[in-house]
Amino acid sequence: MSKARIALVGMPNTGKSTLFNRLSGASARVGNWPGMTVELEIARLLVGARMVELVDLPGLNNLHGFSEDERIARHFLETQPLDALIVVLNATQIERQLAFALQIKQLGLPLVLVLNMADEAIRRHVLIDREALEKALGHPVCLISAKYGHGTQAVRQALETVLHENAPSSDALQPRSTQIQALLEDDNIELQTTALLAEAVRTPQTPATTYTDRIDSLLLHPGLGIVAFFFILLGLFQIVYSIGAPLQELLGEALEGAKTDWIAPLLAPLPAALTSFLLDGLYDGVGTVATFLPIILTFYLVMSAVEDSGYMARAAFLMDALMSRMGLDGRAFVMQIMGFGCNVPAVMGTRVLRNPLQRRLSMLIIPFSLCSARLQVFLFFTTAVFSPQAAPWVLLSFYVLSFLVAFLTAFIWRGQVGEQEPLVMELPPYRYPTFTYLALQALREAGQFLRGAGGFIIAGVAIIWLLTHLPWGVTPASPQSWAGQIASLTAPLFEPLGINNLLSIALMFGFVAKEVVVGALAVIYGAGPNELAGVVARSMDWRQAYSFMLFTLLYTPCLATLATIRRESRSLKFTLASMAWSVAVAWLASFAFYQIVTR
């Protein structure tokens, strides 16, 4: 039997990607704000006896397709052969979203209507007559909670029935652009929606005050809300240090013990140069970076909990007034927050912005976000150079600086944006995060780190070992080595910043991937995972360490981010300009800091 194709469509923040993951076992990124799905996620699953290709489309506010991600979804619906649709609505907002389902229904494709967050609807006293709705629509209707997995089996059964009863038709192979255009001009949708709501939905006349309302009275306060936001970040870093740092130390001790007791004796018969390359180069470099895995997992566990709670949408709403003065809106701030994980998906997320110039301005400021790759560098230096009491505050200062530099950049270039549109977004209720989701997100991010950065790290530490040991016969990392010769050429650029020659070599390789920086230091200083912190602490004071971290925060993003900016902006000139701007800002900021604190 031929493979069927089913598209998952819905408005932003309805839980589409959560349902996609539940049905397919995939791991599409999900979150409580619009724009998380910016590309097509595809998975295969068995429905009954039939193999199905399930496609998760970006969120659609309507079929007009104003923003880039909406145009992607509309283009797919217009041009791709489809056997059925899964239309996902937020059951708590059915009064506002049902019109979208009626619009999609008129495409004439078999569909299953899924009302997600049914448990929250019940708590809000929103009563939905599923059978009446199903009869009026002429399509299956499922009430589910995708977050907890309730009702997803009913969705599978409804899909099986729909596919069994509807053999592939010629419509599945015909473009639907004409149909969609006709739907946009249809004035009867509103009347149909009103009638259907009156028949199948009952909502309370006066919504009760919830704990979400009470919490929002503080967290959405124009002044106290911003203060609370930064204290939430500080608490996040304190948890990361309290849990992740001891685990990192234990892993470092284990790797050091394995090197001394097992690996070194095993490699002893090999030539000295090869043994040094394998132990002091690859093992120490890669091993030092590997010790950050516990901290990465802890960071993403805590960050995922904040995301899953519904707080990030409020952060966007809270910052909208400030961002509007810089030619952007709260969604750009959300992209900054997304950049905490990785700049690449954050740049891709700018597709939710309708104004092309706003998109470019957002792409210009996103590389200043303190991504998880930079976080490894900062966690290492703050732990090595600063006291346990000062380290969380130092780390918080870099997050604050990343925001300030991004805001300043947007303010300087805001005149290029032109007319703005008001931000319209739904604020989800606060939700208790689920441990399963948090664990999957943390493991997913750690897996992406290993897959995405592993090759760069191995190649980077190998090349750095060669640079520090060649030509043969010189003292490793001495001025006579190739690394020392390169460093002497760049000394006039970095010495005014308090960055010594060897650290400048690590920064050069950080241009490829920031994950390489700490591994590069292990190779340059010839120190293992448990020794490097002490070596670095003895080689610099807090001023030099802070200046180095400041430059690392602001200078050019990794190659993957630059490639994404090039693809999303469709302009090599803009990409090069953004890179030049980042390097210039980094140099000026580090220069100003170091010259001031050393006087």
| pLDDT tens string 554-576 | 998 887 788 888 888 888 999 99
Query: Token pair 């259907």 is at which residue?
Result: 196
The β-bridge relationship of strands 111-116 and 50-56 is unpaired
Q: In the chain, what percentage of residues exceed pLDDT 70?
A: 87
Q: What is the mean pLDDT of residues 348-365?
A: 81
Q: In the chain, what percentage of residues exceed pLDDT 90?
A: 17
Torsion sign (Cα): 551, 552, 554, 557: positive
pLDDT at 187 over 70: no
CATH topology of domain 4-202: Rossmann fold (3.40.50)
pLDDT of residue 454: 61
pLDDT at 168 over 60: no
Q: What is the largest CA-CA distance in the chain?
A: 87
Q: How many angstroms separate the CA atoms of 87 and 110, rounded?
A: 11
Count the neighbouring beta carbons within 10 Å of the beta carbon of residue 226. Answer: 15
pLDDT at 175 over 60: no
Res. 167 pLDDT band, cuts 50 70 90: low
| pLDDT tens string 418-467 | 555 555 666 777 777 777 777 777 777 667 666 655 666 777 778 878 88
pLDDT at 76 over 80: yes
pLDDT at 551 over 90: yes
Count the neighbouring beta carbons within 10 Å of the beta carbon of residue 187. Answer: 6
Res. 38 pLDDT band, cuts 50 70 90: low
Instruction: Tell me phi and psi for residue 150, to 5 degrees.
Output: -75, 125
Instruction: Tell me phi and psi for residue 536, to 5 degrees.
Output: -65, -40
Helices 542-554 and 391-413: angle between axes, nearest 10 degrees: 40
Instruction: Tell me phi and psi for residue 398, to 5 degrees.
Output: -75, -35
3-state secondary structure 542-597: HHHHHHHHHHHHHCCCCHHHHHHHHHHHCCHHHHHHHHHHHHHHHHHHHHHHHHHH
pLDDT at 143 over 90: yes
Q: Is the pTM for the entire model greater than 0.75?
A: no
3-state secondary structure 74-95: HHHHHHCCCCEEEEEEEHHHHH
Say which residues have a Cβ less than 8 Å from residue 569's Cβ, sequence separation at least 6.
359, 360, 363, 575
| pLDDT tens string 338-352 | 777 778 777 877 876
Q: Which residues pair with 141 in a beta bridge?
A: 113
- Answer whether 82's CB lies under 8 Å from 6's CB: yes
Say which residues have a Cβ less than 8 Å from residue 521's Cβ, sequence separation at least 6.
288, 502, 503, 506, 527, 532, 536
CATH 3.40.50.300-classified regions of the chain: 4-202
